[in-house]
Amino acid sequence: MRAIEIQPVSGALGAEICGVDISKPLSENQSGTIRQAFHDHHVICIRGQLVTPTQQLEFARCFGKPDIYPYIKGLPETPEVIEILKTEKDTVNFGGGWHSDTSYLENPALGSMLYAIEVPSAGGDTMFANMHLAYEALSDGMKSMLDGLIGMNSSAQSYRGGRAKKMKELDGMKDKYIESSEVSTAGHPVVRTHPVTGRKGLYVSRGHTTHFKDMTAEESAPLIGFLADHVVRPEFTCRMKWEPGTLMFWDNRCTQHFAVNDYFGERRRMHRVTLVGERPV
């Protein structure tokens, strides 16, 4: 058995992991090494894998409990696994804006695990940003102002007219979406403390944050805009390339991500698992 190798992909975050086959049960040493890499680098990438949805779920359980995503139907045999498909006909994509998954829930996802089945000939990368570095780069005065501020997040923020209406416009997702008029909203600290590492990071995005508690949307917009631009400065980010058989797993508690929509006329098909998270503090 080869030793697991951890290779950072940027100075900000992200690492590729070599020397492991996640279709097979992992030893305690292997799973411990991968968990540590996840906490150290916030985004991990494992290439050259051939896994079934059931095997993807088993690997996900090394990090926590797989969750049921509330807005998209899961696969029949593995309801915790959803398929994300952009077809040749689609001009917009799923996840095409900086955000942290499910921040509109009382208990947002711990992390998201995406496995590539079909990818375009070029493009379709995912960008990630490190919220710890973004927070640490702020002035002491800004940190003091943000302390105690609550951001209000909505599932409808990036989907004007509702998520169902938006999904019906996507050829690859219109039959997978769960019809619902319900909008999920939740308030969370703008400065979030990671439950494992204890590091502080920003937890606000244009994708989901509508306003701050006890403030109007108009009053909140300038600060949300500043923070949204600040957190994706180049020195806080990395860009990850997909290949068939690539699995990526990112920590929702300290990152944001952006699915780049630059592969018009081509397909991109992924299987995603999200893990049950805790209420942000």
Q: Which residues are known to be catalytic?
A: 99, 101, 257, 272
- Token pair 């439950």 is found at 195
Q: End-to-end CA distance of the chain: give it in Å, rounded.
A: 40
Whether 95 contacts 109, CB under 8 Å: no
What's the CA gap between 83 and 269, in Å, rounded? 7
Q: Beta partners for 83?
A: 271
What's the CA gap between 113 and 101, in Å, rounded? 11
- Token pair 């070029």 is found at 122
- Token pair 């990526």 is found at 248
Whether 234 contacts 130, CB under 8 Å: no
Residue 144, SS3 per DSSP? helix
What's the CA gap between 33 and 51, in Å, rounded? 20
Distances (CA, A) of 103 to 111, 149, 198, 210: 11, 15, 19, 11
The two tokens of residue 176 are 């997978």
Q: Is 214 left (phi over 0), alpha (psi -120 to 50) or beta?
A: left
Whether 45 contacts 114, CB under 8 Å: no
Residue 174, SS3 per DSSP? coil
